[in-house]
C-alpha cells in the first residue's frame, strides 16, 4: 500500500473516492466552506434534510459531478463532536474499511482534519484510520472451489491535512502494522485444524522469526520427553500429530534481562479427550489456539516496531484427541516443574500445556509472564463474549497492562484469586494439584492452576475464550477470529519500553 500526505486541496485529488468526516455541525470543521464550494452548495441542504447523515457510524455515498478522477464521496457520520472517542473512531474506520472493500476501491483520499476534535489529534486520527481500515478490510480465507471473485486491495491512500505534524505518515504506518497483525492472528484462528497442525504452526513461527531476526527454538516430542514436559505430553498422548513447543526471543539489547514472556495456548483442536465435549461443543474448536495466535500477532508488531524491551514468546502446541493411548481421568502426570497433577477432567487440557510453557519461559529467563488462552467456558458465563477475563499476582504489572488494554479498546476485567481458590486447586489425595476443582469459579480455577507454576514472577492470565471468536460480523471485522489481545499485548510492551527509556 502506497501512503502519501498532502495539503487539503479538493481540486487536486487524484483518488477515485474521498472519505469525509461529518459531525453534527460540520460548518465548525476547518476548511468546510471550501469543501462545500468544491462539492456543491446543495450539500448544506442535504445535511439539514438528513439526506447526508451526521449520525455516528452512518455512511452516505454520493457521486461527484465535477470532471476528474474523483468519482465518489463517502460522508462518514461522526455525531456530536465533543463525545467522539478514539474507540468510536477506530470502529468508524472499520466500517469505512468494509465499505472500501465492498466497493472494490483501490485509491482513496481521507480528509484527516475532518475526523479530529479536542481529544483526537491529527496523529491519533491517522493511526486510528490505518488500524480501523486495515481490520475492516479483513476477509476470512475460504476453500471454496466455485469462487471466481478476484481479491481487491487498497493500493493508494492519500491523507489530506493542513497540519504541519511531521509524524502523520509514521502514525498511519504503525496503525497499519497493528491492524494487519490482528488480521494475521485472525487467519490463524480461522484455519481448519487439519491444515494448521502443531507442526504447521511451528513453520509459521519460524518464518516470522526469520523475517524479524528473532532467535528461534523448536522442541519436538523427543526433546520434551528428555526435558520431562509431562503435562503437554499427556495432552498429546491421544494424537497422531507431534506436539511442538515454540520459542522466539526478541533481544532489544545485549543483556538478556528484564524479559517479558508472552505465553500462548496453541491447542489446534480440542475434542475434550475422554471427557468429551457434546457434538455442538466440538464445532469451532479449531480456534482453541487463539492464545497462540495472539502471541504470534503481537510478535509481528514487535518485530516491526522494535521496542526497547526484551521479549520472549513461548507457545505450547498440540491437539487433544481420543485414542487408546489418550490420557484419562484418574491419571497422575508430572509436569516440567516437577509438580504432580491428578487428572480429573481431560477437557481441562489448556492449563496443562500452559503449565509446562510458563515453566519453560521462566527457565529461559522470563521476569514477567503474560499467558493468553481460550481457557474456559466459565469466563463467558461470568463476563459474556465481549470481555476478556484476567487474573494476576502483581498489582503494578496488571495496572500497566490495563492501561494498554484501555488504549486499544479491548475490554479486560479482573477476577479475584483467593487463598481459598488456591486450596481447592491443591486438593488431591494423590498429587500436588488437581486440574479441575469444579464448575463453580471455573475461570478462576483454570487461570489459578497456571498461576501455581509462576511462583513469585509477576504474572497476568488472560482468558479469551469469549473474545477470540465473533459469532457475527462487527464494526472491525467479519464473523470468526477476532485477533483478541494482539494489540493489547504489543501496547503493553511499548508502554514498558517507554517506562524503561524514561
Catalytic residue among 206, 277, 424, 495: 277
**Which run of H or of E encompasses 62?**
strand 59-63
Catalytic residue among 186, 249, 351, 422: 351
**φ, ψ of residue 144 in degrees (nearest 5):** -75, 130
Block residue for cell numbers 504474572: 459
Q: What is the chain's length?
A: 502
CB 361 within 8 A of CB 261: yes
Q: CA of 323: how far to CAs of 272, 276, 347, 348, in Å?
A: 12, 12, 14, 17
Q: CA of 501: how far to CAs of 307, 463, 484, 494, in Å?
A: 10, 30, 28, 11
> Would you call 90 a catalytic residue per the annotation?
no
Count of alpha carbons within 13 angstroms of residue 179, beta-carbon side:
27
Q: Residue 366 and residue 295: Cα distance in Å, rounded?
A: 15
- Indicate the burial class of 429 (C-beta count within 10 angstroms; 0-12, 13-18, 19 or more): exposed
Give the strand order in the sheet containing 156-160.
2-6, 156-160, 107-111, 17-23, 72-79, 59-63
> Would you call 56 a catalytic residue per the annotation?
no
91-110 burial, b if ≥16 CB within 10 A, otherwise e? bbbbbbbbbbbeeebebbbb
| Residues annotated as catalytic (active site), given as ranges | 277, 351
Amino acid at each position: 500500500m502506497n501512503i502519501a500526505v498532502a495539503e487539503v486541496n479538493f481540486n487536486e485529488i487524484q483518488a477515485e473516492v474521498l472519505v469525509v468526516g461529518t459531525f453534527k455541525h460540520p460548518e465548525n470543521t476547518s476548511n468546510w466552506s471550501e469543501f462545500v464550494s468544491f462539492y456543491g452548495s446543495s450539500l448544506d441542504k442535504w445535511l439539514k434534510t438528513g439526506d447526508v447523515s451526521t449520525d455516528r457510524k452512518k455512511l452516505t455515498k454520493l457521486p461527484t459531478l465535477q470532471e476528474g478522477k474523483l468519482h465518489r464521496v463517502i460522508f462518514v457520520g461522526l455525531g456530536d463532536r465533543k463525545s467522539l472517542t478514539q474507540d468510536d473512531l477506530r470502529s468508524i474506520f472499520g466500517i469505512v474499511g468494509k465499505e472500501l472493500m465492498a466497493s472494490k476501491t483501490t485509491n482513496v483520499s481521507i480528509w484527516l482534519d475532518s475526523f479530529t476534535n479536542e481529544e483526537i489529534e491529527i496523529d491519533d486520527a491517522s493511526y486510528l484510520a490505518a488500524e480501523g481500515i486495515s481490520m475492516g478490510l479483513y476477509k476470512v480465507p475460504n476453500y471454496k472451489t466455485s469462487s471466481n471473485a478476484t481479491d481487491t486491495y487498497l493500493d493508494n491512500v492519500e491523507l489530506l491535512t493542513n497540519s504541519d505534524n511531521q509524524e502523520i505518515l509514521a502514525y498511519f504506518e504503525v496503525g497499519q502494522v497493528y491492524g494487519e497483525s490482528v488480521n494475521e492472528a485472525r487467519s490463524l484462528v480461522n484455519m481448519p485444524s487439519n491444515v494448521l497442525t502443531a507442526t504447521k504452526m511451528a513453520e509459521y513461527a519460524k518464518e516470522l522469526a526469520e523475517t524479524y531476526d528473532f532467535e528461534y527454538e523448536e522442541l519436538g516430542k523427543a526433546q520434551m520427553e528428555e526435558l520431562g514436559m509431562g503435562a503437554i505430553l499427556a495432552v498429546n498422548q491421544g494424537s497422531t500429530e507431534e506436539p511442538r513447543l515454540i520459542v522466539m526471543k526478541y533481544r532489544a539489547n545485549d543483556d538478556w534481562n528484564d524479559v517479558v514472556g508472552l505465553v500462548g495456548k496453541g491447542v489446534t483442536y480440542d475434542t475434550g479427550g475422554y471427557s468429551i465435549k457434546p457434538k455442538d461443543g466440538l464445532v469451532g474448536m479449531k480456534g482453541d489456539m487463539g492464545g497462540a495466535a495472539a502471541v504470534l500477532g503481537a510478535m509481528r508488531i514487535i518485530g516491526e516496531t522494535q521496542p526497547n524491551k526484551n521479549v520472549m514468546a513461548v507457545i505450547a502446541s498440540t491437539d487433544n484427541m481420543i485414542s487408546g493411548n489418550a490420557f484419562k481421568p484418574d491419571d497422575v502426570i508430572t509436569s516440567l516443574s516437577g509438580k504432580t497433577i491428578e487428572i480429573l477432567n481431560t477437557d481441562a487440557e489448556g492449563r496443562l500445556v500452559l503449565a509446562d510453557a510458563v515453566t519453560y519461559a521462566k527457565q529461559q529467563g522470563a521476569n514477567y509472564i503474560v499467558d493468553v488462552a481460550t481457557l474456559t467456558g466459565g469466563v463467558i458465563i461470568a463476563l459474556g463474549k465481549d470481555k476478556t477475563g484476567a487474573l494476576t499476582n502483581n498489582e503494578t504489572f496488571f495496572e500497566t497492562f490495563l492501561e494498554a488494554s484501555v488504549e486499544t479498546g479491548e475490554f479486560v476485567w479482573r477476577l479475584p484469586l483467593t487463598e481459598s481458590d488456591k486450596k481447592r486447586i491443591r486438593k488431591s489425595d494423590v498429587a500436588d494439584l488437581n486440574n479441575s476443582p469444579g464448575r463453580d469459579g471455573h475461570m478462576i480455577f483454570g487461570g489459578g492452576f497456571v498461576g501455581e507454576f509462576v511462583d513469585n514472577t509477576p504474572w497476568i492470565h488472560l482468558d479469551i475464550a469469549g473474545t477470540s471468536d465473533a459469532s457475527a460480523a462487527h464494526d472491525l471485522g467479519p464473523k470468526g477470529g477476532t485477533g483478541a489481545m494482539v494489540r493489547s499485548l504489543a501496547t503493553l510492551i511499548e508502554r514498558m519500553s517507554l517506562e524503561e527509556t524514561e
